[in-house]
Protein backbone atom coordinates (compact mmCIF):
# COMPACT_ATOMS: atom_id res chain seq x y z
CA UNK A 1 0.00 0.00 0.00
CA UNK A 2 1.33 3.43 -0.80
CA UNK A 3 0.57 6.76 0.83
CA UNK A 4 -1.32 7.72 -2.32
CA UNK A 5 -3.76 4.84 -1.77
CA UNK A 6 -4.79 6.05 1.70
CA UNK A 7 -8.05 7.93 2.02
CA UNK A 8 -8.02 11.53 3.21
CA UNK A 9 -7.59 11.69 6.93
CA UNK A 10 -4.21 10.07 7.35
CA UNK A 11 -3.21 10.85 10.93
CA UNK A 12 -0.67 13.64 10.82
CA UNK A 13 -0.22 14.38 14.51
CA UNK A 14 1.13 11.86 16.99
CA UNK A 15 -1.87 12.54 19.23
CA UNK A 16 -4.16 11.13 16.50
CA UNK A 17 -2.41 7.76 16.64
CA UNK A 18 -3.18 5.06 19.20
CA UNK A 19 0.19 5.45 20.93
CA UNK A 20 0.97 4.58 24.55
CA UNK A 21 0.76 7.67 26.76
CA UNK A 22 4.49 7.40 27.56
CA UNK A 23 5.30 7.61 23.85
CA UNK A 24 3.04 10.62 23.41
CA UNK A 25 4.71 12.30 26.39
CA UNK A 26 8.15 11.56 24.96
CA UNK A 27 7.36 12.94 21.53
CA UNK A 28 5.85 16.06 23.10
CA UNK A 29 8.86 16.48 25.40
CA UNK A 30 11.25 16.69 22.47
CA UNK A 31 8.89 18.88 20.46
CA UNK A 32 7.64 16.36 17.91
CA UNK A 33 3.95 16.96 17.27
CA UNK A 34 3.46 16.17 13.57
CA UNK A 35 4.29 12.94 11.79
CA UNK A 36 6.52 13.13 8.77
CA UNK A 37 4.89 11.88 5.56
CA UNK A 38 6.61 8.47 5.82
CA UNK A 39 5.52 8.15 9.46
CA UNK A 40 1.94 9.14 8.63
CA UNK A 41 1.83 6.58 5.84
CA UNK A 42 3.35 3.68 7.78
CA UNK A 43 2.62 4.05 11.50
CA UNK A 44 -1.13 3.32 11.26
CA UNK A 45 -0.35 0.09 9.40
CA UNK A 46 2.37 -0.94 11.85
CA UNK A 47 0.16 -0.15 14.83
CA UNK A 48 -2.55 -2.35 13.28
CA UNK A 49 -0.10 -5.26 13.29
CA UNK A 50 0.91 -5.23 9.63
CA UNK A 51 4.46 -5.65 8.42
CA UNK A 52 5.67 -2.44 6.81
CA UNK A 53 8.46 -1.64 4.40
CA UNK A 54 8.84 2.02 3.55
CA UNK A 55 11.19 4.02 1.39
CA UNK A 56 11.99 7.70 1.77
CA UNK A 57 14.95 10.00 1.31
CA UNK A 58 17.61 10.31 3.99
CA UNK A 59 16.63 12.87 6.60
CA UNK A 60 12.86 12.57 6.15
CA UNK A 61 12.03 11.08 9.56
CA UNK A 62 11.91 7.34 9.03
CA UNK A 63 13.34 6.53 12.46
- Say what the pLDDT of residue 20 is: 94
Q: What is the pLDDT of residues 2-47, one digit of tens each?
A: 444 444 656 688 998 889 999 999 999 999 998 888 888 889 899 9
- Say what the pLDDT of residue 51 is: 97
Name the E strands within the chain: none
What are the sequence ranges of the domains in the chain?
12-48
Paired with 13 in beta bridges are 34
Q: What 3-state DSSP class applies to 50? A: coil
Rounded to the nearest 10 degrees, how much is the dihedral formed by the CA atoms of 11, 53, 21, 6? 20
Entry pTM: 0.72
d(C-alpha 29, C-alpha 59), whole Å? 21
Amino acid sequence: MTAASFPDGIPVSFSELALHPALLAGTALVGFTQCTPIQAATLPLALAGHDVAGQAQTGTGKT
